[in-house]
C-alpha cells in the first residue's frame, strides 16, 4: 500500500524497500498474518507522533475515578463527624469513590454495633450525594463501606422531579384555596 492508502500490488520485498528509499519513507508491515503479508509505505516517526497525540486527546476526556478513604473511630465527636461528612461530600462531588472506614482499637472491637450505627449515620448524611456500592463489612479490626458518587445527571433529574412535585403541591393548595374562597363568596351572595 502507498502512503495515501492506494494499492500498489503484490511485489517482492526488495522492490518495496527500494520504492520506500526512493520516496524517503519507511516500509512498515501492517498485517503480518495476511497471505501475502501487507506492508505500507509511510513516515514512521510522523505516524508514531500522530498516534501518541490521539492517545493524549483520548486521555484528556477521561475522568479517573479514585478510591478515597475517610476514617472514623467509634468514639468520634459530633463536630469531627460533621467535618468528615463534609470531606466525604467534597470527594464525592469531585467524582471519586469514597471508602468509609471505622477503625476499632483495643476492646472497641467487642462493640461492632457502634460501628454499624456510625456507618448508617454517615450513609444517611450522604444520601443525596452518594449511593452504596458495597454493603458494610468487617475486615479484621476495620468496618468499611464503599460509596459511589451520584452522577450530576441523576442529581439534576432528582432535583427536577422534586421541583415538579413541589410545583404540583403548590398548584393543588392554590386551587383548593381558590375553590374555598369561591364557595364562600357564593354562599354570601346566596345568603343576601
Radius of gyration of the chain (CA): 33
CB 74 within 8 A of CB 102: yes
Task: Indicate if the pLDDT at residue 11 is higher than 70.
Answer: yes
Q: From 44, 125, 112, select the one nearest 84 (Cα to Cα).
A: 125
- Return the pLDDT at 126: 85
Please give the order of strands across the beta sheet that includes 97-103. 67-72, 97-103, 142-149, 130-139
Asked if domains 13-61 and 67-150 share a fold, the reply is no
Separation of first and last alpha carbons in the chain: 101
Q: What is the mean pLDDT of residues 182-187?
A: 66
Lowest mean pLDDT among 1-5, 73-77, 138-142, 158-162: 158-162
Give 13-61's CATH code, choosing from 1.10.3260.10, 3.10.20.80, 3.40.50.11810, 3.90.230.10. Answer: 3.10.20.80
What are the pLDDT digits (tens) for 25-53? Answer: 888 887 888 888 888 888 888 888 988 99
Task: Indicate if the pLDDT at residue 183 is higher than 80.
Answer: no
State which fold the 67-150 domain adopts: Translation Initiation Factor IF3 (3.30.110)
What are the pLDDT digits (tens) for 109-151? Answer: 888 888 888 988 888 888 888 888 888 888 888 888 898 888 6
Tell me the domain boundaries of the chain: 13-61, 67-150
Burial label for 37, CB within 10 Å (0-12, 13-18, 19+), is exposed
Q: What is the mean pLDDT of residues 14-34?
A: 83
- Return the pLDDT at 83: 92
Amino acid at each position: 500500500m502507498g502512503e495515501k492508502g492506494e494499492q500498489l500490488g503484490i511485489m517482492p520485498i526488495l522492490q518495496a524497500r527500494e520504492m520506500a528509499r526512493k520516496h524517503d519513507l519507511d516500509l512498515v508491515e501492517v498485517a503480518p498474518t495476511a497471505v501475502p503479508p501487507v506492508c505500507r509505505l509511510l513516515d514512521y516517526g510522523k505516524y508514531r507522533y500522530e498516534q501518541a497525540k490521539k492517545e493524549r486527546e483520548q486521555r484528556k476526556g477521561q475522568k479517573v475515578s479514585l478510591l478515597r478513604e475517610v476514617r472514623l473511630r467509634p468514639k468520634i465527636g459530633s463536630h469531627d463527624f460533621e467535618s468528615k461528612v463534609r470531606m466525604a461530600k467534597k470527594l464525592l462531588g469531585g467524582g471519586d469513590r469514597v471508602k468509609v472506614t471505622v477503625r476499632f482499637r483495643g476492646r472497641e472491637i467487642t462493640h461492632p454495633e457502634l460501628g454499624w450505627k456510625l456507618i448508617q449515620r454517615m450513609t444517611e448524611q450522604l444520601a443525596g450525594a452518594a449511593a452504596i456500592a458495597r454493603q458494610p463489612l468487617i475486615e479484621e479490626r476495620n468496618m468499611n463501606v464503599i460509596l459511589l458518587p451520584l452522577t450530576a445527571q441523576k442529581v439534576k433529574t432528582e432535583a427536577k422531579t422534586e421541583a415538579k412535585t413541589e410545583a404540583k403541591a403548590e398548584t393543588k393548595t392554590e386551587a383548593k384555596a381558590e375553590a374555598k374562597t369561591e364557595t364562600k363568596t357564593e354562599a354570601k351572595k346566596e345568603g343576601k
